[in-house]
Amino acid sequence: MLEVRVCIGTSCHLNGSYNVVQGIQQLLEEHAMHDKVDLEAIFCMKQCECNGVSISVDGENFRIEPEKVSEFFEEKIMSKVL
Ligand code: FES
């Protein structure tokens, strides 16, 4: 099971973490990948100083823009599950 964590701390919330969580959930449904990815919202990942929303995939940290969720999903999530 691939572990995906999206930060919903104050800074990331203001940068659109809600949209990132929604976007990933929708993509997981579209690709029937719910049983392969464990998606959870977590609090501050201590990377607030950068733009975007903090997200980790199996312990590797990234910052993403909410409008780039699909791109990120394909590159960093789908590619690891398929
Ligand atoms: S609030 Fe997300 S890294 Fe701090």
Q: Exposed, middle or buried by CB within 10 Å (0-12, 13-18, 19+), for 42? A: middle
The preferred substitution site among 6, 12, 53, 65 for testing ligand 1, maximizing ligand atoms within 8 Å of CB, is: 12
CATH of domain 2-81: 3.40.30.10
Strands 2-7 and 53-57: antiparallel
- Nearest by Cα to 17 from 50, 52, 68, 47: 52
Predicted pLDDT at 50: 80
User: Residue 82 — very low, low, confident or very high, per pLDDT cuts 50/70/90?
Assistant: confident
Q: What's the rounded mean pLDDT across residues 68-78?
A: 97
State pLDDT tens for residues 14-64: 999 999 999 999 999 999 998 999 999 999 999 998 889 999 999 999 999
The preferred substitution site among 5, 6, 11 for testing ligand 1, maximizing ligand atoms within 8 Å of CB, is: 11
Task: Please give the structure tokens belonging to residue 70.
Answer: 């699909």
For the chain, which residues make up each domain, given as ranges?
2-81
Cβ of residue 12 lying under 6 Å from some atom of ligand 1: yes
